[in-house]
Amino acid sequence: MSPIFSPLHDSVLILYQPYVTEMDLRHSLIPDELIEDLLCTMPIHSGPDLEADRHLPKYDYISFMERMIDNDKQERPGAANGLGKENKPLQVNGAK
């Protein structure tokens, strides 16, 4: 499987499996508070896994990120192209 690169809090998480474990998150330089939040909000992975991870809880990071992106698109139509609601440019840091 090809690695999946995903930016997360100024670090890069490289996935070689379709899930993450708590240990993966703890080794990725993500702050502990964010890890705790992720562990509570990410769906449980129920698909294939690596033999070494069989006894560990696994989390579906890919579905979680897809859901986050979809929610962002619904909340901010046009955000992907730099436009906010009503197709007006998004304001950054209060700038007009």
At 52-91, the pLDDT tens digits run 888 999 999 889 989 989 888 888 766 555 555 555 554 5
Q: Give ∠ CA 32-28-60 in degrees, rounded to 5.
A: 85
Q: Does 70 fall in a domain?
A: yes
Structure tokens at 58: 């696994």
Kindly state the DSSP code that residue 56 receives in the 8-state scheme: S
pTM: 0.59
- Tell me if 84 sits within 8 A of 90, measured CB to CB: yes
Residue 86 lies in a domain: no
- In this model, does residue 21 exceed pLDDT 60? yes
94 pLDDT more than 60: no
Is residue 89, in this structure, part of any structural domain at all?
no
Mean pLDDT of 23-49: 92
- Percentage of the chain lying above the pLDDT 70 cut: 64
Q: For residue 65, what are the domain limits?
A: 4-80
Q: Is residue 12 part of a domain?
A: yes
- How many domains, in total, are found in the chain? 1
The larger pLDDT score, comparing residue 61 to residue 9, is at 61
CA triple 70-22-40, angle to 5 deg: 50
User: Do 53 and 22 meet the contact criterion of CB atoms below 8 Å apart?
Assistant: no
